């Protein structure tokens, strides 16, 4: 049975996107990016996504009203940030809530920062500097069953992931193409204080059915941005956006750092250039949180957050969602 709020914009008073959904202490919290309406044209660098702050959304349950809890963190609060606070995530560790977010530093390079609060809705107090060794966008954090804390991140094009192939930032770096191996997302482990990586960041491998790395030309399956990690029956499921072809896909692995084998599509394209998601279990059922551009009639940088039921079989297979059927 379809829920009252399912596949409907959860908030209509502001534009929201890239929802990271969690259940903390029995209540649903959603950590989206905050789109601002403006007339800037779209480009491949994502300059149209100007995003200046974060608001935390919350719901008592999936059929209740979604509440905007107001300003949680602004670019004006973070000394190292110059602009573009893009898709965040939040994690609870030792009773505190850590907002993990990307933004450009004063050199125009995307970094990952962390801010902390005693409340899941903030306000969040930022750490003085970004996480050393971090770069690119779209952090998603998994606290594993053994309490180790893993960060998955990275996005191509405007997300600058391919600009770090040499080990340092090069805005003119070659972009993998054709039969070259596609770039996977980044993986690193946080310390307990959430103020440093304790492992060297590395690219994750996404393999095809023959155990070969996905190729750059395989735009229907290769990674582009928006990683998310969930566990199901002891397996790790890396899901992500293909960007240019607008699919949400997933791959399965036995370890948090892979390798991962491509399994299929989670969602067909939505209205807008692409989507960005999270997967969460709520009261024993699984749900996909995502965004589209329904509120703005298709303006790619004016989006709205939604959710829908996710059907997962016992073997971990995810049924493909057709968002407008």
Q: Which of 317, 321, 309 is nearest to 233 (CA)?
A: 317
Report the distance separating Cα 114 and Cα 318, nearest Å: 32
Q: Where are the domains of the chain?
A: 15-309
Tell me whether residue 42 is one of the annotated catalytic residues: no
Token pair belonging to 166:
């040499």
Q: What is the pTM of this model?
A: 0.96
Instruction: Please give the DSSP secondary-structure letter assigned to residue 104.
Output: E
Report the distance separating Cα 114 and Cα 195, nearest Å: 7
In the block, which residue shows the tokens 């709520």?
A: 282
Tell me whether residue 225 is one of the annotated catalytic residues: yes
What's the pLDDT score for residue 286? 98
Residues of the chain predicted below pLDDT 70: 42-44, 46
What's the pLDDT score for residue 62? 96
Token pair belonging to 170:
């090069």
Identified catalytic residue from 18, 35, 205, 252:
18
At residue 159, φ and ψ (nearest 5 deg) are -80, -5
What's the pLDDT score for residue 275? 86
Q: Report the CATH fold assignment for 15-309.
A: Tachylectin-2; Chain A (2.115.10)
Question: 291-302 burial, b for 16+ CB within 10 Å, e for fewer?
Answer: bbbbbbeebbbb
Report the distance separating Cα 265 and Cα 67, nearest Å: 31
**Cα 68–Cα 112–Cα 265 angle in degrees, nearest 5:** 70
Residue 2 CA, distance from chain mean position: 25
What's the pLDDT score for residue 301? 87
What's the pLDDT score for residue 44? 66
Token pair belonging to 38:
């403006």
Q: Could you give the dihedral angle defined by the CA atoms of residues 282, 288, 291 and 295, in that order, rounded to the nearest 10 degrees?
A: -70
Identified catalytic residue from 68, 105, 225, 252:
225
Q: In this predicted model, what pLDDT tens digit does every residue of 30-72 receive, in sequence order?
A: 999 999 877 777 666 767 778 999 999 999 999 999 999 999 9
Please count the other Cβ atoms lying within 10 Å of the Cβ belonging to residue 63: 10
């Amino acid at each position: 049975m379809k829920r009252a709020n399912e596949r409907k914009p959860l908030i209509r008073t502001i534009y929201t996107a890239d929802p990271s959904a969690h259940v903390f202490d029995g209540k649903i919290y959603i950590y989206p990016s905050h789109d601002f309406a403006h007339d800037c044209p779209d480009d491949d660098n994502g300059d149209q996504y100007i995003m200046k702050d974060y608001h935390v959304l919350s719901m008592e349950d999936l059929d209740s009203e979604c509440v905007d809890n107001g300003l949680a963190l602004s670019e004006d609060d973070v000394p190292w940030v110059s602009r573009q606070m893009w898709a965040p995530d939040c994690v609870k560790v030792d009773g505190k809530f850590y907002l993990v977010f990307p933004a450009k530093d004063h050199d125009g390079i995307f970094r990952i920062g962390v801010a902390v609060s005693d409340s899941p809705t903030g306000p969040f107090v930022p750490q003085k500097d970004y996480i050393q060794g971090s770069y690119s966008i779209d952090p998603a954090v998994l606290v594993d069953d053994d309490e180790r804390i893993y960060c998955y991140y990275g996005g191509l094009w405007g997300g600058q992931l391919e600009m770090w192939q040499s080990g340092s930032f090069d805005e003119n770096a070659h972009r993998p193409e054709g039969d070259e191996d596609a770039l996977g997302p980044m993986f690193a482990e946080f310390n307990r204080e959430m103020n440093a990586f304790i492992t060297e960041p590395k690219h994750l491998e996404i393999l095809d059915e023959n155990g070969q790395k996905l190729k750059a030309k395989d735009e229907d399956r290769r990674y582009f941005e928006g990683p998310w990690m969930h566990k199901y029956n002891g397996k790790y499921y890396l899901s992500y956006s293909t960007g240019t072809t607008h699919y949400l896909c997933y791959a399965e692995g036995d370890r948090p750092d892979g390798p991962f084998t491509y399994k299929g599509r989670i969602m067909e394209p939505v209205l807008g250039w692409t989507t960005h998601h999270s997967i969460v279990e709520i009261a024993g059922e699984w749900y996909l949180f995502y965004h589209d551009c329904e509120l703005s009639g298709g303006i790619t940088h004016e989006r709205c957050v939604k959710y829908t039921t996710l059907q997962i079989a016992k073997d971990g297979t995810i049924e493909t969602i057709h968002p407008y059927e």
